[in-house]
Amino acid sequence: MGYGVGFVAVRAPAGAFAAGGVVLKGGVVARSQNSLIRILFHEKEALVRVDEWLKAQGCTTEYSGDFNLLAVSIPERVNLAHIQEYLGSEEASGTVGYEEPILRH
């Protein structure tokens, strides 16, 4: 699974990072136009299939095994309705549940 699904760019002066990569101080450079969807897997077997499909569409993903949750960053160039249609069919089959906390396109 990928890492680094982010929605804001951070500008930080030298020495602004603490151990573990935690930003102590910084600022927003530019807001992303990406949308965010979070997917909860009811059937773990579906994770690889759904993740690969989303990446093939141009999305970036990040998985949290602690919560069995996949965060999906959807760039503006990707057809959001197509992603929603796919996830709707997965949800109807009972394999996933999903939420759309940030829709920007």
Burial 31-40 (b: 16+ CB within 10 A, else e): eeebbbbbbe
Task: Report pLDDT digits (tens) over 14-65.
Answer: 555 554 556 555 666 777 899 999 999 999 999 999 999 999 999 999 999 9
Q: Which domains does the chain have, with CATH numbers?
A: 33-102 (3.30.70.2380)
Return phi, psi of residue 19, to 5°: -55, 140
Rounded to the nearest 10 degrees, how much is the dihedral formed by the CA atoms of 48, 72, 70, 66?
140
Q: Read off the pLDDT band of 90 (50, 70, 90).
A: very high
**Is the distance from CB of 73 to CB of 34 less than 8 angstroms?**
yes
The Cα–Cα gap between 79 and 101 comes to: 17
Q: If you average pLDDT over every residue of the chain, what do you get?
A: 84
SS3 letters across 16-59: CECHHHCECCCEEEEECCCEEEEEEECCCCHHHHHHHHHHHCCC
Q: Read off the pLDDT band of 3 (50, 70, 90).
A: very low
Question: At which residue do the structure tokens 């759904």 appear?
Answer: 50
Q: How high is the pLDDT of residue 32?
A: 84
Separation in Å, CA 102 to CA 36, 59, 75, 89: 5, 14, 12, 20
